[in-house]
């Protein structure tokens, strides 16, 4: 079956839903851009005060908070955690760059 073989009402509903998905995707991108503007400011503040790029305790709290939000929104908490971990890794990378590069590896 091809798209042209689909009933016109079904095709119209698919179009409507896909347009909604496209709008949501655009909103997600804009929200992420705003989030990263804030985290860039945090990175500059951390660099000015010689704070480490990562804050494992905050990250753990954020992951737990996001898992709870996901559960209440009927979204898979594991998916939400993976997404936040990806975002956190990118934020830390930005903070390292702002601070002048990744911290040296610990000596053994």
The DSSP output letter for 5 is G
pLDDT in the model for residue 2:
65
pTM metric for this prediction: 0.80
HEC string of 57-105? HHHHHHHHHHHHHHHHCCCCHHHHHHHHHHHHHHHHHHHHHHHCCCCCC
The per-residue pLDDT for range 61-97, each reduced to its tens digit, is 999 999 999 999 999 999 999 999 999 999 999 999 9
36-42 long-range contacts, Cβ below 8 Å, gap at least 24? Answer: 36/90, 36/91, 36/94, 39/91, 39/94, 39/95, 40/94, 40/98, 42/91, 42/95
């Amino acid at each position: 079956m091809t798209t042209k073989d689909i009933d016109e009402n079904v095709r119209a509903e698919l179009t409507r839903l896909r347009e909604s998905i496209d709008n949501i995707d655009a909103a997600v991108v804009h929200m992420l851009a705003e989030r990263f503007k804030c985290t860039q400011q945090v990175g500059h503040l951390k660099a000015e005060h010689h704070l480490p790029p990562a804050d494992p305790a905050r990250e753990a709290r954020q992951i737990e908070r996001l898992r709870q939000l996901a559960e209440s929104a009927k979204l898979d908490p594991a998916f939400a955690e993976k997404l936040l971990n990806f975002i956190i890794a990118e934020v830390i990378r930005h903070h390292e760059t702002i601070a002048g590069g990744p911290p040296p590896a610990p000596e053994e």
